[in-house]
Structure 1
C-alpha cells in the first residue's frame, strides 16, 4: 500500500463545503469518487483542512492510500478526467506512511480578496468579497499587527467550532492594495472554524471607521464572539497553501496560478 499526497483547487460555489454530507455535493465526495475510479477500489481522501460552503481553494493538500500501480501523472490528469469542472488535482507525490495531510502540517495559509468599490462585482460574483464603503487600509494594517503571535482567538471562533483549543499562533497577516482590489493574506499554525471570516469582519469594521485600530486588542482580550462584528461573506476566501516539514518535499506554498490567486 502506497500513500499519495495531492494538491487540489476548487470553486467553493459548486459544493457544500469540503466534508461529505448526506444528499449534498461536497469536495471530498467528488474527489473520493474520482480517485477511487482511477485506483479501481474504494478509498478515503483526507484533507489538510475543512473549508465551508462557498469557500474556495488554490492550495488544498490531501492524501490517500492505494495499492494500485499507477504513474504519478495518473493521479493528476487521470483523476481530473473523472472530476466535475469545479475541482481539479494540480500535483501528486508519493509520500511515506507517516505523512498525514492534516496532522503533520506546520501552517495553513488563507487569502481573502475584496473589491472596494461602490458597485457590486458581476463577473467575479461569488469569487471575491465586496465592500462598498471606502476602507482605511493603514488602519486595517495597524489592527492586523495586533493579532500576530499566539493568542486565544475565541472572539473569532464560530459557536460550532470543534477545535480542542482556541489558542493559535498567527504568524503573518499581509494586506496589499492594487487600485480597488484588496488582498488579505493570513498564515497561522491552524485556524478555528470561521476564524478568517470573523477576523475579516473585524478588520472591515475598523476599515470603515467604526472603531480605531487599537480596538482589535480589546476584542481579542474579551474572548467573546458575541461582542465581535458579524462574520464576513465566504465569497472571496481561498485556502491558498499548506506548509509541511521539508522531509516530505511537497510544493506546500505553490506559486499563484491566476495572478493574485
Structure 2
C-alpha cells in the first residue's frame, strides 16, 4: 500500500528536511516515528525539501508499506513518537502511481517579514526582519516583472541540483498587516517548481527595492543577467514557510492540496 501524509513542522531546530548523518533533520525524525509506530523500517519521499530554519505548513510525503492501519491510526500513532514541533496532519491511501514530488503540478511558499525598528523576540526564528520601512508598491511593481516562465539563474544557489533554471513563476502576492513603523508583510509565491534558495534570493532583491536602494526595474535587469553575482544577498530563512504542493483532484487528497480546492491565503496563523 502507498500512503501519503501531510506534515507540519517548525524548522528552527532542524538541519533542514533531508536526512543527514546527524539525525537532526525533519525527515530523520519523521522516519524514526513512522518506523516506531509500524514496528518496521519506513523511508519517505517529500514534495519539496526545505533548508535549515525553514518551516513546513503542509509538506506532503509518501511511502510504501505492508502494515495495515486506518488513516487516523497513522496520524495519531505516528504523532505519539514525534517531537512537539513536528506533527502529521492527515494520512491518505493513494494509488501506486502517485508520487508526492513528480505528481505535483505546483508548489507554494510564504515569506513573513516583520518591519520594526527592533529585532523580533517572541517571533524569533518565525519571521524575517526589516529595520527600515518598506515600499509595498515598489515591491509589487518589481515582483510583476518576475511573473511567467523565465531562466532564474540569477536567483539560484550554487549548490542547486535542478536540471534546468527555467521555471514558471505564476504568482507573487504581497500584503501588509498593520500601519506605522511596526507591521508585518506577507509574500506568497506560487510556481511549477522552485530552485534552491530561489525565494530567499528573490526576497533579498525585493527588500532592497522596498528600501528604495534600487528601482523596481532593477529586478528585471537582474533576471536578464542570469548571474547570481548581480543579485542581492540571500535573505534569512527564518520567515520562510513551505505552504505545500498542489495536485490534480483525481488523487483524492485533501482539498487544500488540489488545484480545484479551497486554499486559504495567509491569515495570521504563524
Shorter-chain TM-score bucket reads over 0.9
Inter-partner Cα distance in structure 1 for 2:185 and 2:269: 10
Q: Structure 2: any 5+ residue segments left out of the alignment?
A: none
Number of the residue aligned with 2:192? 189
Inter-partner Cα distance in structure 1 for 2:152 and 2:196: 11
CA deviations 1:202-235 (Å, max 9, x no partner) are 0001001011111111110000001110000000
Number of the residue aligned with 2:71? 72
Inter-partner Cα distance in structure 1 for 2:265 and 2:126: 15
Inter-partner Cα distance in structure 2 for 1:222 and 1:137: 25
Number of the residue aligned with 1:45? 44
SS of structure 2 residue aligned to 1:76: helix
Inter-partner Cα distance in structure 2 for 1:257 and 1:195: 20
Q: Structure 1: any 5+ residue segments left out of the alignment?
A: none
Number of the residue aligned with 2:8? 9
SS of structure 1 residue aligned to 2:90: strand
Inter-partner Cα distance in structure 1 for 2:266 and 2:3: 22
Inter-partner Cα distance in structure 2 for 1:197 and 1:226: 15
Number of the residue aligned with 2:27? 28
Aligned pair 1:218/2:221, yes or no?
Answer: yes
Inter-partner Cα distance in structure 2 for 1:243 and 1:215: 31
Aligned pair 1:132/2:131, yes or no?
Answer: yes
CA deviations 1:63-109 (Å, max 9, x no partner) are 01111110110111110000011111001110000011111100000
Inter-partner Cα distance in structure 1 for 2:31 and 2:200: 28
Instruction: Report the Cα offset of residue 259 of structure 1.
Output: 3.2
Number of the residue aligned with 1:19? 18
Instruction: Report the Cα offset of residue 17 of structure 1.
Output: 0.3
Residues 175 and 236 (structure 1 numbering): CA distance in 2 closer, same or farther, change over 3 Å?
same
Inter-partner Cα distance in structure 1 for 2:56 and 2:27: 13
Aligned pair 1:245/2:244, yes or no?
Answer: no
TM-score (norm 1): 0.97
Number of the residue aligned with 1:259? 268
Residues 10 and 258 (structure 1 numbering): CA distance in 2 closer, same or farther, change over 3 Å?
farther
Over 2 Å off, 4+ runs = 253-261
Inter-partner Cα distance in structure 2 for 1:115 and 1:64: 37
Aligned pair 1:155/2:154, yes or no?
Answer: yes
Inter-partner Cα distance in structure 2 for 1:84 and 1:256: 27
**How many pairs are equivalent?**
260
Verify the 8 A CA contact 2:186 2:266 in the aligned structure 1.
no
TM-score (norm 2): 0.94
Verify the 8 A CA contact 2:23 2:29 in the aligned structure 1.
no
Inter-partner Cα distance in structure 1 for 2:109 and 2:131: 23
